[in-house]
Amino acid sequence: MTDTDTQKQAGYTAKDIQVLEGLEPVRKRPGMYIGSTGVDGLHHLIWEVFDNSLDEAMAGHAGNIEVALLPDNKVRIADDGRGIPTDMHPKLKKSALELAATTLHAGGKFDSGAYKVSGGLHGVGLSVVNALSTWMRAEVRRKPDIFAQEYKIGKPQGPVKKVGSTKQTGTTITFQPDGSIFPDTTFDLPTILNHLRQQAYLTKGVKITVTDGRNPIISEGKKGKTESVLDYTFYFEGGIVSYVDFLNRGEESKHKNIFYAGKDTNGIFVEVALQYIEELTSRELSFANNIHTIEGGTHLTGFRTALTRILNDYARKNGFIKEKDDNLSGEDVREGLTTVISVKLRDPQFEGQTKAKLGTTEARNAVETVMGVEFADWLERNPNDARAILEKVILASKARLAAKAARETVLRKGALEGMTLPGKLADCSSRDASESELFIVEGDSAGGSSKQARNRHTQAILPLRGKILNVEKARLDKMLASQEIRALIIAMGTAIAEEFDLSKLRYHKIVIMTDADVDGAHIRTLLLTLFYRYFPKVIEGGHLYIAQPPLYKVQKGTKIQYAYNDAEKEKVLDQFRKDLPIGRQVLGKTKKTKSADGEWEVSTVDGLPVDGNGAVEAVEDPSRQGEAEDGKIAGVSIQRYKGLGEMNPDQLWDTTLNPENRMLLQVTVKDAQAADKIFDVLMGSEVMPRKKFIQTHAKSVQNLDI
């Protein structure tokens, strides 16, 4: 060991070990407790307090929960449960309310007798919210008294006090997120509504009310001014059956009756509801103690195993498939499936603090057991529904085998095995995927211009001829028959379906670059549908973008500015107006008249009067200074681009391809379920939902080019 090492070791003593007391660890590392300090983490504060109220409802002690968004980004959550205990803790000599609000791992969820099941962060929820709020107030109604305590940055501002009397019970928590922790403390109402609607479906019989009082609506009537706020109420007696019905609204169902089972086995309460629809994809939502396990887990695995086994047994028993036939695969039996799986269990084991995946082994056995008995019995009691389901999944099985054959034909000697890239692809010279970009353009005209404009080292161009196949309702074998789609798959290098491998992606930026007109928008939607349905990991990886070519070129002399929409065009024109003060020379068509002494003088420029020096004279309306009679600005030309092919290569490079100037929109799917619905509506076979969507949103269209 060197002298330097010895000195470093000697300088590292007990005083260098940082001990975080109370709620300091939460403020030091908030991401460990709520996932992030972004928008998701901000809303997680509401979920944590709400989960405490929901635990009361799941335990049978509460029937109503109210969530109110208040001015100054405050939130109030109230329930009619038993109310947090306020008496003194026998060992710590502090009020139980203060302990729950200020101490990590102090809560009723650690006592096996307090809650049979619970969500939240196992008792740390309220204290974490308190630590990450500039201010919080807890008010507890425990008949006949009302108790309250306030906090600032997690610290009590006084003891728990009696503040009134009541005949009710319950808890009300009001908090204000800390702006020094969260960059943005503005809550999003749709996010809150979607989450709480989901919770209402999962806890049938509980009434959840959401009120947005941040911007009251003021109206005048006979009694003077009145204020009103937006409020929403969720209450579902049908529970997850209602949820499946909600998810499948507007879809063509394969069978009328929604299967439901709710049963307790070995201390785990299992609920399953499912229905098949005329769709090629599946929707499987799994929950553990009302926590949405986005990544699934043991309960989802148990469901899938049981579903595949039961349908194979029924199909063979009733002659739908012969002994020599292959079994139905898990992929086959899940095509067109919508299901909600909910388990409620004591002390669930999750993978990760944010509980995206359930790891409790017993949950798999419980779900398999319930499905094995209840779904098998339901098929026997509902033969018509069973037949409809089997016809659906057997068709899926045949299509899978056909798709496999088509896929092997297309990809057997594909890009992964050295097959030459499609001839229409103008590839880049770089083989570093991290710097390579693929631009998908429409038509040969735009393709030619793009190929001349690009940076050949890092930018590849793939022109598509016409509109690609609408894959929303097309199976894989039909899709792979499309020459344009095959070219795109081979160019990307990832293969497709079971062979898909994101690590083989040849370009880390795939850019959809279509014209700014109706046809361009249609082609863009078709491509987005293709990626969403068959290459979701490309989107999840942040590799898909949409180029934003300009709509207008505005030019005055040698000065050129581009505008990407009408609003930007007006801003550019306003700037040009400001650049034309009285007395400044302008360019434009001139008109000369002969003076009395025989000299030719400029009298107008683009119809505007000028002085003897050829500068614009004053006009009566200052706002029209430098502007002609028809509203055009003197010397300014406006070009409206109808397509990328109209742009010169240098213009296309400057505006759309040059990384220093261009505007790219990254495609993300924040809410996959909502996106799935939109694609169904816009690209599906049903006309009425699409017509209704267009009628509803027509007035919000900002730029319609027909």
User: Is there a catalytic annotation at residue 680?
Assistant: no
CA distance 336 to 435: 39
Count of beta carbons in the 10 Å neighbourhood of residue 83: 25
Distances in Å between the alpha carbon of 623 and those of 559, 581, 583, 628?
A: 22, 11, 15, 12
Tokens of 445: 């005209």
C-alpha 616/C-alpha 548 separation (Å) is 37
Q: Could you tell me which of 113, 117, 276 has the C-alpha nearest to residue 203?
A: 117
The residue from 66, 178, 442, 627 that is catalytic is: 442
Whether residue 326 is annotated as binding a ligand: the answer is no
Half-sphere exposure of 603 (CA within 13 A, CB side): 7
Question: Is 499 annotated as contributing to ligand binding?
Answer: no
Using CA atoms, how far residue 335 sits from 254, 265, 341, 393, in Å, is 12, 28, 17, 7
> Would you say 274 and 337 are in contact if contact means Cβ atoms under 8 Å apart?
yes
* Catalytic site includes residue 611: no
* Gap between the Cα atoms of 546 and 544, Å rounded: 7
**80 flagged as catalytic:** no
H helix or E strand, kind and range, residue 451: helix 443-453
Using CA of residue 23, residue 28, residue 32, residue 37, what is the dihedral sign? Answer: positive
- How many helices (DSSP H) and strands (DSSP E) are in the chain? 21, 27
State the Cα–Cα distance between residues 8 and 230, nearest whole angstrom.
Answer: 62
Q: What tokens appear for 454 in the block?
A: 């690009």
- Round to whole Å and give the CA distance between 545 and 547: 7
The tokens describing 139, both together, are 């008010």
Q: What value does the CA radius of gyration of the chain take, rounded to a whole number of Å?
A: 33
Cα 6 from chain centroid (whole Å) = 53
**Cα–Cα dist 288/351, whole Å:** 12
Choosing from 519, 568, 579, 686, which is the catalytic residue? 519
Q: Are 116 and 59 in contact (CB under 8 A)?
A: yes
Residue 232: how many other CB atoms lie within 10 Å: 15
Choosing from 212, 335, 385, 515, which is the catalytic residue?
515
SS3 107: coil
Residue for token digits 């659906």? 392
> Has 40 been labeled as part of a binding site?
no
The DSSP line for 626-656 is TB-TTSPBTTEEEEE-SSGGGS-HHHHIIII
User: Which helix (H) or strand (E) is 441 found in, with range?
Assistant: strand 437-442
Terminal-residue alpha carbon distance, the chain: 79
Residues across the chain: 706
CA separation for the pair 537, 502 (Å, rounded): 7
| DSSP letter, residue 657 | I
Cβ–Cβ < 8 Å for 584, 614: no
Position 21: which residue type? E
Element (H, E) at 581: none
Known active-site residue 295: no
Task: Write out the two tokens for 442.
Answer: 């429409």
Q: 238: Cβ–Cβ under 8 A, 6 or more apart, which residues?
A: 204, 245
Edge-to-edge strand list for the sheet holding 636-640: 559-563, 552-556, 636-640
Whose structure tokens read 């063509």? 252
Q: Which of 216, 218, 173 minimizes the C-alpha distance to 74?
A: 173
Q: d(Cα 141, Cα 525) in Å, to the nearest integer?
A: 54
Catalytic residue among 40, 278, 517, 568: 517
Q: Is residue 647 within 8 Å of 558, Cβ to Cβ?
A: no
Supply the residues annotated as catalytic: 442, 515, 517, 519
In the annotated binding site, the residues are: 442, 515, 517
Query: What residues form the annotated binding site for Mg(2+)?
Result: 442, 515, 517
